[in-house]
Amino acid sequence: MTDVFSIARILRAIIDVVCNMVVLKLVSYLFLGVFLSYGLGWPCTLTTVAVFLVYAATGGWRFIRVVIKTAPRDLRALRVLLTLKWSVKKYNRIGHSIPKLFQETVKKYPKKICFIFEDKKWTFQEVDLLTNAIANFFNESGIRQGHVVALVMENRPDLVFYWMGLAKIGAIGALINFNLREKSLLHCVQAAQAQCVVFSEEMASAVADISRDLPKSCNLFFMGSGQCPVVGAVSLDPLLEKSPTYTPPAPITKFTDRVFYVYTSGTTGLPKAAIISHSRFYYMASAVHMMLGLTDQDILYDPLPLYHTAGGIIGMGQAFLWGTTVVIKKKFSASGFWDDCLKYNCTAAQYIGEICRYLMAQPFRTTENQHRVRVMFGNGLQPGLWHDFQTRFGVNKIGEFYGATEGNCNIINIDNTIGACGFTSMIAPFMYPVTLIKVDEDNNIMRDRNGVCVRAKPGEPGELVGKIVAGDPLRQFDGYVSKEATDKKVAMNVFKKGDMAFLTGDVLIMDEYGYMTFRDRTGDTFRWRGENVSTFEVETTISKIIGLSDAVVYGVEVTGAEGRAGMAAIVDPEHKINLVQLCKALQEKLPPYSRPLFIRLMEKAADTTGTHKLKKTTLQTEGFNPHKTEDRLFYMNNKTGTYEPLTRDIYSDICKQKIRF
């Protein structure tokens, strides 16, 4: 009998190590029960029940609790995932594309409103005819399948019309951030290897500044009928009026072909052109649609930039793929957000970055409780604002998601779990192979003795990665136009020897149920006093203390000190920030190593990207040097324990190490 139990203990240990899926564990323990029944001569049913009771009593109850809590969530996600996999495989086999799927939507809803912009509306049929005219014009102008057209215009439906029209003939639109100028703008056009540039009237001066540096073969098209200030640019409006609206000749396409380029935000350098394939567009937009229960009866409010993933893919995809009416805004307005939702009778809305914080900072207005918005989705909602946001504005469901524009490991929160930006299954992780891998204090990937990445355990921070599977449209990594940039985002030997995975560059933390919470960018985290400091955490804390004003945190080098000291730049044009109160609150809420040693009070708002991410590059370069800025600077005086003015003499003493931290 002793031998039987000894073998049983060994089998259980093997089961716990090898079987990380609930189905395998259940089957394995069933066989373990049969084994014991045979060895002891007991009834099989009795022994099997006994095995499970022993398993539960000796720690297995934790896994059972995870199964009970997460099984409904995982089954729902699995159903959507399998549906998407089947659809993508089918569309890839028959050579489908986003324009062809849009044609199917047009047949279903020809007279229904597709887009609303300010006081103008377009039906699905009108959008179809307009994009046909664009497609036929460029086809007759010599633009062919695989050619690239850079689109430079402010937020307006025209941007969507043009990339859809180009996609109908197999050409690729490069969706360029309209805030870019000179070097950055020129870089984006050149990085896409564009054959021509289409620009709107308000962007004429910006294009004029770079026109001399563009290749002579790059044609310029001006959206307008008047005189264009850019030499050599052709006015498009009169030409499009004459362009035929019949369905253009469709090229032979694969669902994995490129539909357009989206650029990274460029918070730490020049933007990179990320490849968006037809399959990726379909997958991202459809996953949000299915996971959050959106319908063709919804009216979606989309105040986000259309040149980026959230607004341009997830938002526009609801119209093109699912027949949802979408309201497009030229620019996000915190004061007009709920007024618009009420005006257009919206039932769903998008957010990104700091938008929710801006809305919370607004004074009360009656429309914030009169709207019909039942669901909002996006990324960047601070966990500390989540409950208060839903309570104040009466939004029943928040669909926070995490997604890298170019990556293959997008996750989403489908059950309103506060703080989570998504989840991975703890029962069947093989179904969606994304995980967190451990990194050291310098953000280098940690590996075991076999050279395989070390997975982060629940509660441990780790970089999010997604396994790359060649031939699987949902698991492949399309990357960037630049091969060099693409190679930098791929790691080898991650899940096992010989495999590859996409590196997000973002650090998240996962709990025992698989819910993931965003922590920081690997490049933003800095090390001070032997500890890793999360800029995201410190920014969130400061923002709540000072009443939701703009605050950005970064690490700065201090002479003679190891690592980087924390510095916070806060927008304070009216000089309302009380540094004594701020210092006291930071002492209560943050550990010593996380508290900023330097404070910069800025007279004007910090620069942001089009997705409302604060730019840190310039601020980091200027550091706490009073010779480089006229903003008010302060440092933490260790003797008094308070923030005091950082004069040029104090700065000199710090550099000479007369003042140490």
Specify the amino acid at residue 326: V
Helix (H) or strand (E) holding 515: strand 515-521
For residue 276, count other CB atoms closer than 10 A to its CB.
25
The residue with tokens 């290897």 is 193
Please say if the pLDDT value at position 400 is more than 90: yes
What band does 267 get if pLDDT is binned at 50, 70 and 90?
Answer: very low
Span(s) in the chain for CATH 3.30.300.30: 524-655
What band does 37 get if pLDDT is binned at 50, 70 and 90?
Answer: low
The larger pLDDT score, comparing residue 108 to residue 9, is at: 108
Provide the pLDDT for residue 442: 64
For residue 140, count other CB atoms closer than 10 A to its CB.
12
Helix (H) or strand (E) holding 351: strand 348-352
Could you say which architecture CATH assigns to the domain 524-655? Answer: 2-Layer Sandwich (3.30)
Instruction: Please work out, in degrees rounded to the nearest 5, the angle formed at the alpha carbon of residue 633 by the alpha carbons of 628 and 639.
Output: 130
**Listed residue (430, 438, 412) closest to 515, CA to CA:** 412
72's CB contacts (< 8 A; 6+ apart) are none
pLDDT tens sequence across 610-653: 555 556 777 888 999 999 999 999 999 988 889 999 999 999 99
Number of H helices, E strands in the chain: 21, 28
The CATH H-level superfamily of 424-522 is Luciferase; Domain 3 (2.30.38.10)
Looking at the whole model, is its pTM more than 0.75? yes
**Listed residue (334, 339, 398, 331) closest to 368, CA to CA:** 339
pLDDT tens sequence across 497-556: 999 999 988 889 999 999 999 877 666 677 676 566 778 778 888 888 887 667 889 988
For residue 388, count other CB atoms closer than 10 A to its CB.
11
Provide the pLDDT for residue 1: 44
Report the b/e string of 576-591 with b at 16+ CB within 10 A: ebebeebbebbeeebe
Provide the pLDDT for residue 648: 93
Residues 356-361, mean pLDDT to the nearest whole number: 88
Tell me the helix, strand and coil percentages in the chain, rounded to 5. 40, 20, 40
The residue with tokens 């076999």 is 450
Report the b/e string of 485-501 with b at 16+ CB within 10 A: bbeebebebbbeeebbb
Residues 450-471, mean pLDDT to the nearest whole number: 91
Please say if the pLDDT value at position 164 is more than 80: yes
Provide the pLDDT for residue 4: 47
Least confident of 6-20, 317-331, 336-350, 513-527: 6-20
Q: How far apart are CA 172 and CA 340, in angstroms?
A: 33
Q: How far apart are CA 329 and CA 179, in angstroms?
A: 16
Helix (H) or strand (E) holding 599: strand 598-602
Least confident of 192-206, 225-239, 389-403: 225-239
**Listed residue (448, 562, 439) closest to 505, CA to CA:** 439
366's CB contacts (< 8 A; 6+ apart) are none
pLDDT tens sequence across 556-588: 888 877 678 899 999 888 888 899 999 999 988
Helix H segments across 198-293?
204-210, 237-242, 278-291
Helix (H) or strand (E) holding 519: strand 515-521
Provide the pLDDT for residue 590: 81
Please say if the pLDDT value at position 218 is more than 80: yes
The residue with tokens 């650029």 is 263
Residues 451-470, mean pLDDT to the nearest whole number: 91
| Rg, the chain, Cα only | 28
Q: How many residues does the chain have?
A: 661
570's CB contacts (< 8 A; 6+ apart) are 542, 546, 549, 550, 551, 577, 599, 600, 601, 602
Sheet of 551-556: strand order equals 551-556, 565-571, 598-602, 632-637, 642-645
Helix H segments across 41-97?
44-55, 61-94
Residues 424-448, mean pLDDT to the nearest whole number: 85
Q: How far apart are CA 344 and CA 350, in angstroms?
A: 14
Q: Are 468 and 474 in contact (CB under 8 A)?
A: no
Q: Is residue 384 exposed (0-12), middle (13-18) or buried (19+ Cβ within 10 Å)?
A: middle
Q: 113-117 and 325-328 as β-strands: parallel, antiparallel, unpaired? A: parallel
Q: Decide: helix, strand or coil at residue 391.
A: helix
Query: Percent of the chain at pLDDT above 70?
Result: 86
Span(s) in the chain for CATH 2.30.38.10: 424-522
- Mean pLDDT, rounded, of the chain: 86
Helix H segments across 233-273?
237-242
Provide the pLDDT for residue 50: 54
